[in-house]
Amino acid sequence: MSAFNAIGEEREVERDEYTPGIEPQATWCPGCGDFGVLKALKGAMADLGKDPEEILLATGIGCSGKLSSYFESYGLHTIHGRALPIARAAKLANPDLEVVAAGGDGDGYGIGGNHFMHTARENHDMTYIVFNNEIFGLTKGQTSPTSPKGHKSKTQPHGSAKSPIRPLSLALTSGASYVARTAAVNPNQAQEILVEAIEHDGFAHIDFLTQCPTWNKDAKQYVPYIDVQQDDDYEFDVSDREEAARMMQKTEASLYEGEVLTGRFYHEADRPSYGEEKRQVGEMPDEPLAERYHDDDYEWERSYDLLDAHK
Partner 1 sequence: MSEELVWRIAGGSGDGIDSTSQNFTKALMRSGLHVFTHRHYPSRIRGGHTYVEIRASPEPVRSRGDGYNFLLALGDSFARNPQEEAYYGTEEIKPLTENLDDLREGGVIVYDEGLIDVEDVPDFEARVEENDWHVYPLDLRSLAREKGREVMRNTAGVGATGALLEYDLGHIEDLMADAMSGEVLETNLEILEAAYQQVDDLEFSHDLRMPEGSHDSEQVLLSGSNAIAYGALDEGCRFISGYPMTPWTEVFTLMAQHLPEVGGISEQVEDEIAAAALALGASHAGVKAMSGSSGGGFALMSEPLGLAEMTETPVVLVEAMRAGPSTGMPTKPEQADLEHVLYTSQGDSNRVVLAPGNVREAYEQTRTAFQLAYDYQLPAIVLYDQKLSGELRNVDESFFDREPNADLGATLSEDEIAEAAHHASGKFQRFKHDPGENGVSPRSLPGQKGGRFLATGNEHTPEGHISEDPDNRVAQLERRMRKLEAIREELDGREESHQTLHAPVEDADYGILTFGSQQGTVEEAVDRLAADGHSVKSLGVSEMMPLAEAEVTAFLESVEEALVVEMNGSAQFRGLIQKELGRFGPKMNSLLKYNGNPFEPAEVVEGFETIVDGDEPAPTTRFVPAAGD
Ligand X SMILES: Cc1ncc(C[n+]2csc(CCOP(=O)(O)OP(=O)(O)O)c2C)c(N)n1
> Which of 45, 61, 84, 228 touches ligand X (CB under 6 A)?
61
The span from the CA of 143 to the CA of 218, in Å, is: 13
Per-position x/- string for 83-122, each x denoting binding to ligand SF4 as judged by CB under 6 A, each - no binding: ----------------------------------------
CB 123, CB 274: distance < 8 Å: yes
Q: What single DSSP character describes residue 296? A: T
**Comparison of 57 and 63: residue with beta carbon closer to ligand X:** 63
CB 171, CB 179: distance < 8 Å: yes
> Which of 92, 165, 193, 247 touches partner 1 (CB under 8 A)?
92
Site for partner 1 in 262-291 (CB under 8 A): 278, 282-285, 289-290
Residue 33 is which amino acid? G
| Dihedrals phi, psi of 181, to nearest 5 degrees | -130, 135
The span from the CA of 41 to the CA of 80, in Å, is: 21
Least distance to ligand SF4, CB of residue 255, Å: 17
Q: What single DSSP character describes residue 207? A: E
> Which of 28, 43, 72, 136 touches partner 1 (CB under 8 A)?
72
Instruction: From the list ligand SF4, ligand X, partner 1, none, pick the one residue 124 interacts with, judged by a Cβ distance below 5 to 8 Å according to partner type.
Output: none
Per-position x/- string for 220-239, each x denoting binding to ligand X as judged by CB under 6 A, each - no binding: --------------------
**115 interacts with partner 1 by CB under 8 A:** yes
For residue 86, the tally of other CB atoms under 10 A from its CB is: 18
The span from the CA of 56 to the CA of 24, in Å, is: 19
Least distance to partner 1, CB of residue 116, Å: 10
The span from the CA of 46 to the CA of 24, in Å, is: 19
Site for ligand X in 121-160 (CB under 6 A): 131, 133, 135-139, 144
Contacts (Cβ under 8 Å, ≥6 apart) of 298 = 292
Residue 26 is which amino acid? A
Per-position x/- string for 119-138, each x denoting binding to ligand SF4 as judged by CB under 6 A, each - no binding: --------------x---xx
Please give the residue ranges that form the binding site for ligand X (CB under 6 A).
61-64, 80, 103-107, 131, 133, 135-139, 144
